[in-house]
Structure 1
């Protein structure tokens, strides 16, 4: 296969923030053409999990998502802190968002949310055997409602288009496949 990689000639940061950074790259394509401005969003890596309790219930969270102006039904997840291993970030996010502790957490896939415009990855996990050990400890701007669902109910929510966050649909697909729930 031919080399398709672009060479970055220079980068300029246009905005640096705690959740997103925007830079403009000047790049040279393999055939010598130059792309004067290619905008890249730098985000920290993310993690999410299909979290199944010891009673075989799937934990879902409902929260407001301002950029899209929607109340979204999702799986638990969030940002992996700098220097944190993805699985430890996932373990922390599960405890903070749901109050459940999970000892059995397995990576089911790693995806790129949008490799055309952003540089981060999402680590998708299947967490099993969760036990409620505390109340939620949410970030300053988080308001989450946790609900429990059977696997059949989650499959119906997906079929009905009620879970619309693409990265969460991806994690659910891989987890349901791992559990032998897709036919």
Structure 2
């Protein structure tokens, strides 16, 4: 039975970087160009790397066993996207759970009673430097203050937890990374069913 990559494997070596430069650096993203040489001596130049802050996905469930989701326009997608509350972890956030609570309240006006961090994963280990954290928020209720951000027009949508896997499979939920977070969180509480 295979349990995953062997971290002690000696035949896989990291690349070396002979030069690195920023192509774009702004408040949202940094695009870095690295000139790399593989362990076998093959030059790969430039190799583009995207630097983002860590992200958090909030899987919020209310006392009626509904997911608290958001719908908003996504420009690159070219339309409306149904998603979980999510966002960047700010430098000012004292923890992942604090960032999750902030994002949930800002985007939905909901707060939650119980919080559980369920790990972090790479959005794309080939090109991204950041991690995406999955957080489960139980006992969500709409008593907080939703942030009125003119760049994010957000509609709050509640759907039964039992519909999550179907909405992911049929493409109604559009963000693949968030679908992974949904599966992790709902699987942890025995509620992810295809």
- Same topology, TM > 0.5: yes
Measure the CA separation in 1 of the matches of 2:114 and 2:100.
Answer: 12
The one of 41, 46, 53 equivalent to 1:32 is 41
Contact 1:109–1:174, Cα closer than 8 Å, also in 2:
no
SS of the residue corresponding to residue 52 of structure 1 reads strand
SS of the residue corresponding to residue 130 of structure 2 reads coil
Instruction: Identify the residue that residue 22 of structure 1 maps to in structure 2.
Output: 31
Matches within 5 A, 1:147-158: 147-158=157-168
What is the CA RMSD across the aligned residues, in angstroms? 1.6
| Structure 1 stretches of 4+ moved >6 Å | none
1:134: how far off? Answer: 2.5
Q: TM-score by structure 1 length? A: 0.92
In structure 2, stretches of 5+ residues that fail to align are 1-8
Measure the CA separation in 1 of the matches of 2:99 and 2:118.
Answer: 15
Count of matched residue positions in the alignment of Structure 1 and Structure 2: 183
1:83: how far off? Answer: 4.7
1:91: how far off? Answer: 1.0
**Aligned: 1:82 with 2:91:** yes
SS of the residue corresponding to residue 100 of structure 1 reads coil
Distance change (3 Å), C-alpha of 1:79 and 1:95: same
The one of 72, 79, 86 equivalent to 2:81 is 72
Q: TM-score by structure 2 length? A: 0.87
Matches within 5 A, 1:102-141: 102-141=112-151
